[in-house]
Amino acid sequence: MTERTTVRLPEELVRRAKRKAAAEGRTLTSLIEDGLRNVLDERARKDGAKRKPLPVSSATGGLKPGIDWNFRDLEEMEDIERMRRIAREHGRGK
């Protein structure tokens, strides 16, 4: 069952909410309803509801096929960049 009610909101807030609802292709009512649900759900969580565990990846890791860098290569690239930066700071080179 749906209930009709009147609320008083600042004009600027209503204008912003209408723009957001229009941009999302939805009604102002649905935007307000979602906002109220979010606030009420947040309060319920703070009042002791258990949090849902975060999803954990089952990926095995590693580099994508075709990428064969090792840490030495990465360290060498960082060293080269560091030396270039020092040379630029002292006006010696590119």
List the chain domain ranges. Answer: 11-46
Q: Which of 40, 18, 68 is nearest to 9 (CA)?
A: 18
Average pLDDT, the chain: 81
Give tens-digit pLDDT for 54-79: 777 677 766 666 666 667 777 788 88
Residue 93, pLDDT above cutoff 60: no
Q: What is the pTM of this model?
A: 0.45
Alpha-carbon distance of 9 to 16, in angstroms, equals 11
Alpha-carbon distance of 10 to 13, in angstroms, equals 5
Number of Cβ within 10 Å of residue 56's Cβ equals 6
pLDDT at 91: 77
Residue 88, pLDDT above cutoff 70: yes
pLDDT at 48: 60
